[in-house]
Chains A and B, each alone.
Chain A
């Protein structure tokens, strides 16, 4: 799905249909071919640009309820190095076949693109908890959206103050 959207965006960026088809035919070489095409680097980036767009892409028109008591979003209040900020999220759930957390989407509203990661759980996970390390460009809010198996969506957020941003170079 991700690759498809890259293709569509590059097609819109002015390459001919024929060239597009050739690019697709190149299969795994497509990413390299795209890199060599003279396209706008910003347009070549993927995914929604704003937090609202990212939330809509993740959950459609569903309205998230306040998940503050159910989702625990563990991020540092102050991150000295934005290149590697620890992030841990846990959702209180029985994790049975009838009632489990499907996905937790994480966003950062002050990065060039808000998407951070989506954790996809199953009842076999036993616990709706996962952790990683992320880049934060500057002080901003980290938003967690939990999609439950019954279709409900819960949301919570936390602010991280960043001393040195994580998009260097």
Chain B
């Protein structure tokens, strides 16, 4: 099975107290569980069901995804940068896999 590739766009630096936009994309089929194969058998559900972003170890944003989210799920959201930030991103698959990425933001 193709390994999910995560891409994250984060500004390199921010002013103290600045609210910055984070954009994320991960390659994943997001199989809804609603479809049938050509023999009429249902194709089992396999989606990313949860996304979590932490900043310096504390949760800052998360999302609970349902099968209605498109393949290769895109998420954008904001974080308020008060200090140099270590951002960690985690995508949780129905099969128990967790795909991870990380970025840092310097405070200018």
Q: Give residues in A with beta carbon < 8 Å to B.
A: 2, 27-28, 31-32, 34-35, 41, 44-47, 83-85, 95, 108, 111-113, 115-127, 129-136, 166-169
Bound CA span A133–B48, Å: 14
Q: Which of B59, B78, B97 contacts A129 (CB 8 A)?
A: B78
Stretch at the interface among B3-11, B67-75, B100-108: B67-75
Q: Which of B33, B55, B64, B97 contacts A120 (CB 8 A)?
A: B64
Contacts A119-B63, A120-B62, A130-B76 known; 19 new A-B pairs at CB < 8 A: A28-B96, A31-B94, A41-B33, A47-B66, A113-B68, A115-B66, A117-B63, A117-B65, A117-B66, A117-B69, A122-B58, A124-B55, A126-B79, A132-B73, A132-B75, A134-B70, A135-B68, A167-B35, A169-B43
Q: Are A125 and B67 in contact (CB under 8 A)?
A: no
Q: Are B70 and A118 in contact (CB under 8 A)?
A: no
Q: With A131-B75, A135-B32, A135-B70 in contact, is A124–B64 under 8 Å at CB?
A: no
Q: Which of A27, A130, A132 contacts B96 (CB 8 A)?
A: A27
Q: With A28-B96, A133-B74, A167-B32 in contact, is A116–B61 under 8 Å at CB?
A: no
Q: Are A113 and B63 in contact (CB under 8 A)?
A: no
Q: Are B61 and A125 in contact (CB under 8 A)?
A: yes
Q: Which residues of B contact A136 (CB under 8 A)?
A: 68
Q: Which residues of B contact A113 (CB under 8 A)?
A: 66-68
Q: Which residues of B contact A116 (CB under 8 A)?
A: 66, 68-69
Contact with A along B15-34 (1 / 0, CB 8 A): 00001000000000000111
Q: Are A167 and B63 in contact (CB under 8 A)?
A: no
